[in-house]
Structures are given as C-alpha cells and as structure tokens.
Copies of this chain bind each other. A is one copy, B any other.
C-alpha cells in the first residue's frame, strides 16, 4: 500500500515540445488514478531553492496536450549544488543550496520529486536521491535524442518535423535558383536530427558530429548532381558538425563571424563551399524554432506515456529510477545508469548505411564514391 500522498514535479533544461503533455499526464494519472496530489515547482531547481510552487489540478493541465513549452517554466541554470546566489549588495556568489532544496521538498510535504529534464537536470536529480536521500523519479527530455538509456525522447520527432518542413521549403528555392542551400539544425554532440531530417527532407549531404567531413566529397557530389541536370543541392548541418581536423580549420573565423552564438559553423561551411566550388550558397540556422510549436502526435503519445509511468513509479516508491522507452514498451531504468552517457549516431549503423544507399553523402567518402552516389 503506497504511502505516497504528494508528488512534486519540475521541468529543467531547454524547452522541448511535449513537456506540457508530460505534466498533464502526471497530474491526470496521479489525481484520477492514484488519488495523489501534484505540486508543480516553477523554473526548474531554481524554483525549488526559492520555494516557488503551487498545486496542480485537472483544470490546470486542461488543454496542455497540444501546447508546446512548459507551464512551470524552465531554465538551464539553477543547479542547487552550485547555486548562483545574489547577495543583497548585488554580488553573485556560488553556494551549495542543495540542503535548502532538500528542506523545501520537506516543507512542501513531497513524498517524491519527479524531475523532467536533460542530462544536467537528471544528474542533479540522481545526486539528490543518492547523496541527499530525496526520493526522485526522472523523465528524460532532449530534442537531440542523445540520452543513452532511452530509445527516444519526446520533442525529437517534433524537431525533425520542423527541420523537414524547413527543408521542404528550401528545396523549391534551391531548385529554382540553382543554389546550394544549407540548413543548420540542432545537435551539438549527436547528429540525430540532421540524419532523420536529412533522410525525410531529401538532403543530398548530411554533416554530423560523429562523422568528420572533408569538402572534396561535397563538391564532388554537387558536381555529379550538376552533370545529372540538377544544379542545386541541399545540405543538412548538425550544430556540432566539424570538418576532419576539427573546427579549428575555421580558426580565426570566430572573431569575424560571431556565429558561435548560434552554435554551429554553417556560415563558415557555406563560405568555404562558395570559395571551393564556385556555387551560390545560402545558409539558414533554424535555431529555437525547433524547440517550439505543438508536439506531433508521436511526441504527445510518448510524453503522455512517460508521464503516466513516472506517476506510477513515484506512487509505487520506485525512487532513483527514470522512465524510458525500449522498443514499444515503457520501462524503468536506474537513474545512475542513464546519466553522463551520450547516445551518438554510429557511422556503421543501418540508418547511415541506408542513407548512403540512396546517395546521401556524409563527407567522409572518396571523391569518386561521392560522385558515383549520384546516379
């Protein structure tokens, strides 16, 4: 018989489509299914330290399934173990506020804290459980889909949809103007969005962090397409993609372009292709558009299932665990196993080989290979 009566929930890290759907499912499952009260904590761990929280009932989460964002607010900051505390004199100092956070969990009367977040937030949650004994259940969140312990994360499919729609738009312009069009998508350490959107949007070249690229095969691909009467190409660039030899081949560029702010080096890549190939090139950085919007159906379903399972684990006292999807089943995995490990694209994987089989070039090919990839 469960003694859990009150469950807290917070969202941490970057915004992702489906966060609100998780919150809705947590509240519905707790309230309707388990008779448990849910307390929403504002702005991630910051709100826990600063004791900003309110109860959430069915009315609060009505209509959330279709809405992007999180009604709780979220932030990339606010690690209680290294908390940026602003003193009355305005000076900021880094303090350990984890004890305050723990005490606030008690003050709020929470029997469990559901942490919805990426690797950073989940790692904090794991320490709360392991070091401080705060009962924690984790829900993984990253639009990059690079968390190790789950096959997929909600938000990813919506980000792929946004990127694919953008590619569909750029395709007609590329074709009409005989241009090379670059689209930079998210993925600092893993190229999942670029790979999926590249396949779905008909990208001719896909550049991902896992496969350092050279410019020669790219130019060879463009030339081969020209010869086949297609004097235009689409290049999908993950934020973290870099040429073989490292991003330092662009050294000195940073000062000139300022593109670091945006994450990736697609402007530098665009210029290099113009210089080497004589093409008219245009680069677009999709940016935060990928984080927003109404989640696609599969993300709504995944987020809902994660929320339901997190409620079940919380109520059932399975603390220190994280929900995940494996195949088509929602499962629980130890938080400790889930954090600190990246799931990256395997260059030998079936999906990458499939892309190559229909002619997608990743930039690690021989020039001849790249040329023959186009018919």
Which residues between 186 and 213 of chain A lie within 8 Å of chain B, taking CB atoms? 196-197, 199-202
Shortest distance between the CB of A114 and any CB in chain B (Å): 15
A31 close to B (CB within 8 Å): yes
Q: Which of B15, B169, B177, B196 interacts with A289 by CB under 8 Å?
A: B169
Bound-state CA distance A173–B74 (Å) is: 9
Q: Which residues of B contact A372 (CB under 8 A)?
A: 32
Q: Which residues of B contact A168 (CB under 8 A)?
A: 66, 292-294
Contact A359 B28 (CB under 8 A): yes
Q: Which of B69, B172, B177, B329 interacts with A176 by CB under 8 Å?
A: B69
Main secondary structure of the interface of A (DSSP, over half): helix
Bound-state CA distance A290–B170 (Å) is: 9
Contact B350 A330 (CB under 8 A): yes
Shortest distance between the CB of A258 and any CB in chain B (Å): 4
Which residues between 2 and 60 of chain A lie within 8 Å of chain B, taking CB atoms? 11, 14-15, 17, 19, 24-25, 28-29, 31-33, 43, 58-59
A132 close to B (CB within 8 Å): no
Contact A177 B256 (CB under 8 A): no
Bound-state CA distance A357–B359 (Å) is: 43
A157 close to B (CB within 8 Å): yes
A339 close to B (CB within 8 Å): no
Contact B25 A358 (CB under 8 A): yes
Query: Which A residues contact B (CB, under 8 angstroms)?
Result: 11, 14-15, 17, 19, 24-25, 28-29, 31-33, 43, 58-59, 62, 65-70, 73-75, 151, 157, 160-162, 164-166, 168-173, 175-178, 181, 196-197, 199-202, 228-230, 255-259, 261, 267, 282, 284-294, 296-298, 300-301, 304-305, 308-309, 311-312, 327-330, 350-351, 354, 357-359, 372-375
Pairs A–B under 8 Å by Cβ, sample size 15: A15-B173, A19-B176, A25-B358, A32-B358, A66-B202, A73-B176, A75-B178, A168-B292, A169-B293, A173-B292, A200-B298, A261-B267, A284-B285, A284-B287, A308-B357
